[in-house]
Amino acid sequence: MRKQQRYDKTIEALNAFYPNAETELKYQSPFQLLVAVILSAQCTDKRVNMVTPALFERYPNAASMALASEQDLFELIKSISYPNAKSKNLLKMARRLNDVYNGEVPQERKDLESLAGVGRKTANVILAVLFDQNVMPVDTHVHRVSRRIGLSKNAKTPAETEKQLMEVLSERNDIALLHHQLILLGRYVCKARKPLCESCPLTDCCKFYLSKLSKQKAV
């Protein structure tokens, strides 16, 4: 199967399987999404959603969080991964956002990446979800699923996966939707240890599944 054909089949199947895919992080403003995405690094969305209601009740915007104490932020997020580093980053991020950007989440990558706790993947999520920009955030799910399906080839890092995906997808206007679809597929179907191939909508175009099927037939 040619690369473009595999991409086309994948997108068609995922559009049918997850027509309304979106982030599972809970938020009510651009600032709250930025905070949630920072907290979600190496942590599940489910766990993040457990701590953000109390966090956002006390600190709903950059102006209020900029006045917080690092210890108070730590106490509110201590049940998630790396709370020490993340509480420091949240405070620095909120202060810079408040001082430099008038409390508004910026729309340019360089500005986003100047904020504490914001790397390329986090910036891509914000650009895609909030500002509808054609970028592909690549987390562990997107990285793994892309490799298994055959959308990427020999990509050793998320950055390499992003580069390969964008070489094919750059002209499309639905990249953000595909990002969410690949995450949901990786989270609930194409799991890291025990992928549920029989429940997957991509069995007719997935390299991993077709290879497994071929080996079973050869036995």
Give me the residue spans of the domains in the chain.
3-21+136-218, 30-129
To the nearest 10°, the Cα dihedral for 152, 157, 163, 166? 60
- Percentage of residues in the chain with pLDDT exceeding 70? 99
Mean pLDDT in residue range 137-165: 96
Q: Which of 3, 9, 121, 174 is catalytic?
A: 121
To the nearest 10°, the Cα dihedral for 123, 126, 129, 134? -40
| CA gap 101, 86 in Å, rounded | 21
Whether the pLDDT of residue 217 is over 80: the answer is: no
Q: Quick one: which of 40, 56, 55, 205 has its CA closest to 137?
A: 40
pLDDT tens, 94-115?
Answer: 999 999 999 999 999 999 999 9
What pLDDT score does 49 carry?
A: 98
Q: Which CATH architecture has domain 3-21+136-218?
A: Orthogonal Bundle (1.10)
Whether the pLDDT of residue 219 is over 60: the answer is: no
Mean pLDDT in residue range 153-176: 95
Q: Are 34 and 59 spatial neighbours (Cβ–Cβ below 8 Å)?
A: no
What pLDDT score does 213 carry?
A: 82
pLDDT band at 214 (very low <50, low <70, confident <90, very high): confident
Average pLDDT, the chain: 95
DSSP secondary structure code for residue 199 in this structure? G
- The number of beta carbons lying within 10 Å of the beta carbon of residue 69 is 10
Secondary structure tally for the chain: helices H, strands E: 12, 0
State the greatest distance between any 2 C-alpha atoms of the chain, in Å, as a whole number. 65
What pLDDT score does 216 carry?
A: 73
Whether the pLDDT of residue 218 is over 70: the answer is: no
Q: Which residue has the tokens 């651009």?
A: 30
Q: What is the CATH number of domain 30-129?
A: 1.10.340.30
| CA gap 121, 138 in Å, rounded | 6
Whether the pLDDT of residue 201 is over 90: the answer is: yes
pLDDT tens, 64-84?
Answer: 999 999 999 999 999 999 999
Known catalytic membership, residue 121: yes
For 91, the 3-state DSSP assignment is helix
Whether the pLDDT of residue 180 is over 90: the answer is: yes
| CA gap 146, 144 in Å, rounded | 6
What pLDDT score does 1 carry?
A: 82
| CA gap 12, 160 in Å, rounded | 24
| CA gap 123, 137 in Å, rounded | 8
Q: Which of 139, 174, 194, 217 is catalytic?
A: 139
| CA gap 170, 206 in Å, rounded | 22
- Percentage of residues in the chain with pLDDT exceeding 90? 93
pLDDT tens, 202-213?
Answer: 999 999 999 888
